[in-house]
Amino acid sequence: MKKISSFLEHKRSIAGLFLLAALVSNTYNIQENAGRIKRLTNFESGMQTCFSRVNQTYTAKMLGDTASNYLTQNFQNLTEECFAEGILNVEDSFKAELSQVAKKLSTLASNVHWFHEDILSPGSVRAIANDGESRDIGVRFEKIETTKDDILESSEKYKGEITNSLNNEKTVFYVSATLLVILMFSEYMSNTRRRLSNNIREKEAQAELLDNGGAASVKVGEIIKSVLDQNNLINCSKLFANYHEHQSFDKTIKNKSKFSLEGLITPIGNQTLVGMNETIDKIWNDDSIGVTADNIEDKMLLDLNLENMSSSVVDLLAEKLFSRGIQLDVKIPDNLMVKGRQEELEQTLYHLINYAINSTDEGSGEKNISIFAHRLGDIVAFDLIHSGLGFDEEILKHRVGITSSGKSLDVDLQICQTLLEEIEARFQLDNKLNQNGEIIGGRVKIIFKAGTNASARLVDLKVGSKKDIQAILNQSAV
């Protein structure tokens, strides 16, 4: 059933194009056939009008009303022109379909002409047929009427065929339109389900980001794979699953050979010879296999230049600042150092400034962001003040412990808070007020540990057998 559903989903666009083409084609045919029916109706009405003129002439003749307009040459000429227009109409619009009707019309027009000749000059040469026999006007009128009836019958029959075709095309049109609406509704529901499912996965991904960035979560692979599957990226999903499985296997193997470098590097400079030997024995007898400093580097807080990091992040957001007309003022000393890790600090500054940019859109006045920092003993105070939207009162009360629950922070600020906890920093929120006590912006203060310009580093590491290391240390001690 799932394969059938997937097959139908893939063919939905093709079916939609087919139905749309069918609708366009049927619409054109419906218009064409409706036009034919209208032209046939007009033709039949014209034939009735032309015959009624002949009938009027015949009636006037039978009544002996010689002064009647119906017996004049002009009236009869107009009657003949009426039939001539009927012939032209059939030849222009239905030459192929009503070829027999066109021939009958020519015969009818000829009979009408000789009928008028009989009326105008009875007994004359023009009133005598080609076979030399005199024709009575009653006989000619009867023949005209019979021919007219045959023509109208043929026209009516052809109109019935067109009407049946028109009805069939209307049925196809309504069915195609109904199927297209169902298909569009199905596509809409499918896209809605996919969007809702993507939103659920997005929230799960956001939760993983807030939980230590999601780097160590086993759920990350499941989230990404499910997103690829529900967006019909089957090959990408399989590729990612294979890659994720391979990476997990490699990580498991590597973790078996890791241990902390902190237990290996031991200060021995001020120890006695006996103490140094005991320290060497302790290190040498350690059963750990392999050594790596990856986990130590991940946890160590480095000395980072806050001004350089801020400038780098501002460059990334320069286009966004310019496009929104925001004035940015940065005042950070050149050599101001803080404790942290480069990736966490960059991400923190990026999300913080991005939040400030979005908040300025809510204000009606000037858009500006001010950033400044200074050192206070062992800490560095970093302040960002922005115009526009401030913080909700419930959020501020919750953060200082006045209320037990409050509204959630903006996603950018939630990410900042999580990243700052990783580098042992903290941040505070406050509103910027004008002289009337109205909120005109927000303020974010971050407290970092102060760093130094020269970081402590490993300058020497002795490598060799136990005997060699003891000999080197003994020589150093002497």
Question: Beta-carbon neighbour count of residue 478 at 10 Å?
Answer: 6
Q: How far apart are CA 292 and CA 405, in angstroms?
A: 44
Q: How far apart are CA 169 and CA 167, in angstroms?
A: 5
The percentage of residues in the chain with a pLDDT greater than 90, rounded to a whole number, is: 16
State pLDDT tens for residues 319-356. Answer: 888 888 899 999 999 889 999 999 999 999 999 999 99
Structure tokens at 309: 């990091």
Most confident of 87-101, 230-244, 349-363: 349-363
Distances from the Cα of 303 to the Cαs of 298, 386, 454, in angstroms? 14, 28, 8
**Residue 449: what are its φ and ψ, rounded to 5°?**
-75, 135
What average pLDDT score do residues 162-173 get?
A: 90
Question: Is the model's pLDDT at 270 over the cut of 70?
Answer: no
Q: Which pLDDT score is estimated for 16?
A: 82
Q: Which pLDDT score is estimated for 350?
A: 93
Q: Which pLDDT score is estimated for 466?
A: 62
What does the domain layout of the chain look like in residue ranges?
A: 2-185, 218-256, 306-449
What average pLDDT score do residues 387-410 get?
A: 74
- Proportion of the chain in helix, strand, coil states, percent, rounded to 5: 65, 10, 25
Partners of 442 in beta bridges:
386, 431
Most confident of 15-19, 46-50, 258-262, 361-365: 46-50
Q: Which pLDDT score is estimated for 449?
A: 92
Question: Is the model's pLDDT at 267 over the cut of 60?
Answer: no
Most confident of 63-72, 205-214, 236-245, 270-279: 63-72
**Locate tokens 């019958």: which residue?**
153
Q: Which pLDDT score is estimated for 2?
A: 44
The third-level CATH classification (topology) of the domain covering 2-185 is f41 fragment of flagellin, N-terminal domain (1.20.1330)
Q: Which pLDDT score is estimated for 324?
A: 86
Question: Is the model's pLDDT at 126 over the cut of 50?
Answer: no
State pLDDT tens for residues 415-450. Answer: 998 999 998 898 888 888 888 888 888 999 999 999
Question: Is the model's pLDDT at 363 over the cut of 50?
Answer: yes
- Residue at 357: amino acid letter: I
Q: How confident is the model at residue 406 (pLDDT cuts 50, 70, 90)?
A: low
Any idea which of 187-196, 213-222, 374-383 has the lowest mean pLDDT?
A: 213-222
**Locate tokens 């060699």: which residue?**
468
Residue 448: enclosing H or E segment and its boundaries?
strand 439-449
Question: Is the model's pLDDT at 217 over the cut of 60?
Answer: no
Residue 331: helix, strand or coil by DSSP?
strand
Question: Is the model's pLDDT at 156 over the cut of 50?
Answer: yes
Sheet of strand 379-387: strand arrangement? 327-331, 368-376, 379-387, 439-449, 426-433
Question: Is the model's pLDDT at 462 over the cut of 80?
Answer: no
Question: Is the model's pLDDT at 299 over the cut of 70?
Answer: no
Residue 373: enclosing H or E segment and its boundaries?
strand 368-376
Mean pLDDT across the chain:
78
Any idea which of 53-67, 117-131, 251-265, 440-454 has the lowest mean pLDDT?
A: 251-265
Q: How many residues does the chain have?
A: 478
Distances from the Cα of 234 to the Cαs of 2, 10, 79, 454, in angstroms? 14, 13, 78, 51
Q: Which pLDDT score is estimated for 259?
A: 42
Q: Which pLDDT score is estimated for 472?
A: 73
Q: Which residue has the higher pLDDT, 369 or 226?
A: 369
What average pLDDT score do residues 389-407 get?
A: 72
Q: Which pLDDT score is estimated for 83?
A: 87
Q: How far apart are CA 422 and CA 426, in angstroms?
A: 10
Q: How confident is the model at residue 95 (pLDDT cuts 50, 70, 90)?
A: confident
What average pLDDT score do residues 48-65 get?
A: 88
Task: Collect all residues with Cβ–Cβ distance below 8 Å to 328 and sequence separation of at least 6.
Answer: 314, 321, 368, 369, 370, 371
Question: Is the model's pLDDT at 372 over the cut of 60?
Answer: yes
Q: Which pLDDT score is estimated for 237?
A: 66
Q: Would the pTM of this model clear 0.85, i.e. be above it?
A: no
What average pLDDT score do residues 17-30 get?
A: 88
Q: Which pLDDT score is estimated for 261?
A: 43
Residue 1: helix, strand or coil by DSSP?
coil
Q: Which pLDDT score is estimated for 401?
A: 60
CATH 3.30.565.10 assigned to 306-449: yes
Question: Is the model's pLDDT at 200 over the cut of 80?
Answer: yes
What average pLDDT score do residues 226-230 get?
A: 75
Q: How confident is the model at residue 465 (pLDDT cuts 50, 70, 90)?
A: low
Question: Beta-carbon neighbour count of residue 390 at 10 Å?
Answer: 23
Distances from the Cα of 423 to the Cαs of 206, 239, 300, 303, 340, in angstroms? 20, 35, 9, 11, 5
Residue 302: enclosing H or E segment and its boundaries?
strand 302-305
Question: Is the model's pLDDT at 258 over the cut of 50?
Answer: no
